[in-house]
Amino acid sequence: MWNFIVFLHESILVMAKIIAIANQKGGVGKTTTAINLAASLAVLEHKTLLVDTDPQANATSGLGFDPQKIENSIYECIVDDNIHPTTTILKTQLPYLELLPSHIDLVGAEVEMVNMPSRERVMKKVLEKIVKDYEFIIIDCSPSLGLITINALTSADSVIIPVQCEFFAMEGLGKLLSTIKIVQQRLNPKLEIEGILLTMYDSRLRLSNQVVEEMQQHFQQLVFDTIIQRNTKLSEAPSFGLPIILFDASSKGTENYMRLACELLKKNNMLRSEETSTDIRERLSKINLS
């Protein structure tokens, strides 16, 4: 049973807020966070676009699409100026959520971009064509700090950094923060750290609690109050091509990501009126999906 309050805004932003989900360390919950944060915002009726920039295309398959059957993807948008992203975007099972998919071909994009003018800003030019069509654009980055990720950071207004509550939690975090600083200095002065998101938390483990304490002490206000708990349903949902909120609306994973969406809205002063969790359940039932 949910015991929290969620909020619904009443106005539409002129331009989308673009948020990159980034950490070059794999297995920290980037794609899980990208899918489920985007879905939670969509359930709250914020028009949201999820952009999959990982050649593994897990965000694409996690929303029920077969990457092998995708005709056009973010790859084509990057390497061919004649392909408008609106011809590539796919509608999902949530009315307020759309997807700009990825494909394994994206592996070769960095090589093709080497000789492009302003190669670090290619993705920014793509997203500028559709930025007025959404309230949020969530970018799922690959587990690297290559040219595609640099493009994502250059395009973004802010970045969310997922960090797992495990032994090597801070491994590579310094490198990522240094990269963000370089991007801020040279490519995107407006880029901000939206927050550090602690994931895979298990309250039964002393180590998890130690990591939470250390991260909160060291990074203070940068750490989201919401913590994503380790949850079996979260792991199962992608294999069914569903975000957690459609796979199991009563799960702890759904509660965690709804909390995160509300915290994000509050941080960005987008709370207009409030709704109870009962209202959210009613909206889900209207979607007629379980």
Q: Specify the pLDDT at position 280.
A: 59
Neighbouring-strand partners of residue 192: 158
pTM for this model (two decimals) = 0.89
Q: Is residue 263 helix, strand or coil? A: helix
In this prediction, residues 256-285 reach a mean pLDDT of 76
Cα–Cα distances (Å) from 128 to 37, 122, 243, in that order, read 22, 10, 27
Query: What is residue 277's predicted lDDT score, i.e. its pLDDT?
Result: 53
For residue 272, name the pLDDT band (cuts at 50, 70, 90): low
| pLDDT tens digits for range 57-79 | 999 999 999 999 998 999 999 98
Taking only the tens place, the pLDDT of each residue in 183-209 is: 999 999 999 999 999 999 988 988 889
Query: Is it true that domain 5-287 has CATH number 3.40.50.300?
Result: yes
Higher per-residue pLDDT: 280 or 263? 263
- How is the chain split into domains, by residue range? 5-287
- The tally of CA atoms less than 13 A away on the side-chain side of residue 161 is 25
Whole-angstrom CA distances from 14 to 20, 131, 157, 191, 273 are 19, 9, 14, 19, 19
